[in-house]
Structure 1
Amino acid sequence: MPVITNIEDLKRIYERRAPRMFYDYAESGSWTEKTFRENTSDFEDIYLRQRVAVDMTGRSTASQMIGEDVAMPVALAPVGLTGMQCADGEIKAARAAEKFGVPFTLSTMSICSIEDVAEHTTKPFWFQVYTLKDEDFMRRLFERARAAGCSAIVITVDLQVLGQRHKDLKNGLSAPPKLTPKSIANMMTKVQWGLGMLGTKRRFFGNIVGHAHGVKDASSLSSWTAEAFDQSLDWAQIAKFKEMWGGKMIIKGIIDVEDAKMAAKVGADAIIVSNHGGRQLDGALSSIRALPAIMDAVGDQVEVHLDSGIRSGQDVLKALALGAKGTYIGRAFVYGLGAMGEAGVTKALEVIHKELDISMALCGRRRIDELDRSILMIPENFEGRWQS
């Protein structure tokens, strides 16, 4: 068993064990991947202020996200195709999150269904919703999430049009994977992954197949997906979804101050500053660079979370010190899942928690609510100065 000390260790194992098309799906952005890269590298521009001779006993990373108690303000982000990274991946990730005491967010485009995850967990999870044209399907999706005991929905608003991800197109990404000479040759080298997939019945998009009108198998799914996303989405429709759901709503995909203001106006319980992990508009600001201006604009009106680029507990610390009340990890937990299954997700959470706890202590802070910008050294032009 290799010694795992950071998220990069899990990523190396994951790359060896997962089929190439699914590794590339997780580890890529759109177009030139500029935003994908800067989501992580921009964290490095922020420095931490070390403080000494401060009582560091009795520390706690416990906090709340949308009123729910969390062991640390880190949720598992919604990631499509998680059940292709590892057999029954969404169930395994949800169980690890529950045991650790952090929220798990299930994607609409998951392999395991809402019902699958609810059956294998005991606490409420969050459900991420893509805005689709089929209103009847959307209504039934909310009903299923309600029946499963989901405590919040996460509306993703930055995927009306799909960003082009070159690797996915070249790999012929699909679930289950298309069998070509190249994909078969690659999958034959992933013995552990293959045995897991042979042992599960969950190989299709579980929230859609058998639930969306006319989608009964993989062949009908592809044509449905190509036409499913609602390009006419606007704020009035988002308000309608909130009314349709009737519970807590988080809006994911906010990267601009004006959009943050609109999200607060329609009554979001929280917004997630996110550029979809650099997978949509390439050339957009990284999430961490966009966060300060959004905090200044709406931080006193709505709970602000941050997603995209977090690979360590220090990244979490920096986002929290800039004002975010919560953060999300997507790729970081997928690395763990693909490397070691449920135990790998737990390990990813342990790594991030330890880094957060120790770094917080060395900055002279004992509790999450003590974090503020005074523990950071931020370059003067970090947010950028742009011509009007």
Structure 2
Amino acid sequence: MASTKDWFETVAEAQRRAKKRLPKSVYYALVAGAEQGLTLSDNVAAFDELGFRPHIADLPAVRSQSTTVMGQEIDFPVVISPTGVQAVDPEGEVAVAKAAASSNIQNPLNPDQTVSTAMGLSSFASRSIEDVCAVNDKVFFQVYWAGSRDDILARAMRAKAAGAKALIVTLDWTFATRRDWGSPPIPEKMDLKAMLQFGPEAIVKPKYLLDWVKTGKLPDLTTPNMAAPGQDPPTFFGAYGVWWTSPLPTWEDLAWLREQWGGPFMIKGITHPDDARRAVDAGATAVSVSNHGGNNLDGTPGSIRALPAIADAVGDQIEVLQDGGIRRGADVAKALALGARACMIGRAYLWGMAAQGERGVTNVISILYKGIDEALLGLGKNSIHELSRDDLIIPENFTRNTSKI
């Protein structure tokens, strides 16, 4: 099936359509990375170094992709990664949550059901936890270590009351003004000054502008999930300032939050085996092997390179997820073969939403689901749980000695 006006066949095509539709500043905010962009590039390039060892006969007629992540049953091993304020579509995170909850992809093992998965929601999101939980019952709420212990716990408890099933603590994002390679200026809020500055970009992207005009509102740069009771939500940079000026968390802090939360708990940003072991000691349910999509310490190897060492260190004690560089279903299969339970996607679904709203997110989910199925077929596997390193051709020093760091 070739790409059409209403359908794209690859995530790369979604990215091209996103670039065509979005104002320049909005698009470049989606593709930026830290400093030189070395980690950003390696997140994607590392997957290309891994090859498959396929079979050609006695292949399974039907393949299973179902698994569980932090207590939630999902129909395929990809979870929506939490990303901050989304100005790429008026529906923002609600559109993403709807697509994740019901992708319109028929489940081959149960034709009466469609494929669904879990949604990670950022505390810096533009839509509230209540709005998102209303359309998806498998939401994982994400927090930064921003503010006091009481502030952080209040946000977490609000999310739990709204229906969030798990908590994600993101630690793979450090502040430095010289970072954000390729990132454009972003306004504090959409006031008259900002409209005069960024208006010319929007005028030359009429479809994007028309979608917002139809809603009668401007892109929302506030963060409702960071608001204290009875207060107006801060702007993105207001929330960012709270995080930037907060004392850095300790392992004791993380263990405290895990105990207070009392449910499934992920620590996101693990690339060092020692940190993975400390996460186990802190009581975490899961870790995400991640470098914040190349927006943390530049020069860190692509996250897929760090995955085997983390899986070897703690994979029998904790759920290990991989986040970064996923562009096709084959990438997911490679990560699972190296020890991940599931993968998390960020830019891929944002490009899909930028290209075509909720339908574009569904399109990306379909691309990944079918790509995983094709990999299982080619490798002769009945299930994603049968994937192993024996299915891969792994070049020497692929991991860049990450097991020794």
**TM over 0.5, shorter chain:** yes
Q: 1:66 aligns with which of 50, 66, 70?
A: 70
What TM-score do the two structures reach when normalised by structure 2?
A: 0.89
Aligned equivalents of 1:115 and 1:344: distance in 2? Answer: 23
**Which residue pairs with 2:139 in the alignment?**
125
What TM-score do the two structures reach when normalised by structure 1?
A: 0.92
Aligned equivalents of 1:7 and 1:115: distance in 2? Answer: 30
2:259 is the counterpart of 1:243 = yes
Kindly report which structure 2 residues correspond to 1:1-388, keeping only aligned pairs within 5 A, or say none: 1-2=4-5, 3-82=7-86, 84-100=87-103, 101-119=116-134, 121-161=135-175, 164-168=179-183, 170-176=184-190, 179=194, 181=196, 183-198=198-213, 199=215, 203-208=220-225, 210-211=227-228, 218=235, 222-223=237-238, 225-229=240-244, 230-385=246-401
TM-align CA RMSD: 2.2
- Displacement of 1:372: 0.7
CA distance 1:376–1:186, shift in 2 (3 Å): same
CA distance 1:150–1:364, shift in 2 (3 Å): same
Work out whether residues 78 and 105 of structure 1, in 8 Å CA contact, stay in contact via their aligned partners in 2.
yes
Aligned equivalents of 2:234 and 2:145: distance in 1? Answer: 22
CA distance 1:106–1:176, shift in 2 (3 Å): farther
Deviates more, 1:245-254 or 1:138-147: 138-147
Aligned equivalents of 2:216 and 2:97: distance in 1? Answer: 17
Work out whether residues 89 and 112 of structure 1, in 8 Å CA contact, stay in contact via their aligned partners in 2.
yes
Which secondary structure does the structure 1 equivalent of 2:304 belong to? Answer: helix
- Displacement of 1:358: 0.7
- Displacement of 1:181: 5.0
Aligned equivalents of 1:160 and 1:152: distance in 2? Answer: 23
Aligned equivalents of 1:156 and 1:385: distance in 2? Answer: 25
Describe the superposition over 1:108-144 as per-residue Cα deviations: whole angstroms up to 9, x where unpaired. 111111122123x151311111111233322221121
Which secondary structure does the structure 1 equivalent of 2:194 belong to? Answer: coil
Describe the superposition over 1:176-233 as per-residue Cα deviations: whole angstroms up to 9, x where unpaired. 4862655211111222322333416571324256537975664xx6355324343421
Which secondary structure does the structure 2 equivalent of 1:306 belong to? Answer: strand
Q: Aligned letter for 1:290?
A: A
Structure 2 unmatched runs, 5+: 104-115
- Displacement of 1:80: 0.7
| Identity value in percent | 33
Aligned equivalents of 1:258 and 1:208: distance in 2? Answer: 32
Q: Aligned letter for 1:327?
A: C
Aligned equivalents of 2:127 and 2:78: distance in 1? Answer: 22
Which secondary structure does the structure 1 equivalent of 2:343 belong to? Answer: strand
Deviates more, 1:206-215 or 1:358-367: 206-215
CA distance 1:153–1:351, shift in 2 (3 Å): same
Q: Aligned letter for 1:79?
A: T
Aligned length: 383
Describe the superposition over 1:279-304 as per-residue Cα deviations: whole angstroms up to 9, x where unpaired. 11100111000011111111111110
